[in-house]
Amino acid sequence: MEKKERKVTPEEWNLRFRALGLDDETVGHWHTLFERENPTGHQSFLEWLGLPEERIAQVRAKSADSKK
pLDDT per residue as tens digits for the range 16-33: 999 999 999 999 999 999
- Among 64, 10, 65, residue whose Cα is nearest residue 37: 64
Look at the pTM and tell me if it is higher than 0.75.
Answer: yes
Spans of all domains in the chain:
10-65
The burial of 29, by beta-carbon neighbours within 10 Å (0-12 exposed, 13-18 middle, 19 or more buried), is given as: middle
Containing H/E element for 6?
A: none
> What gap in Å lies between CA 64 and CA 13, rounded to an integer?
21
8 A C-beta contact, residue 60 and residue 46: yes
8 A C-beta contact, residue 59 and residue 47: no
User: pLDDT below 50 — which residues of the chain?
Assistant: none
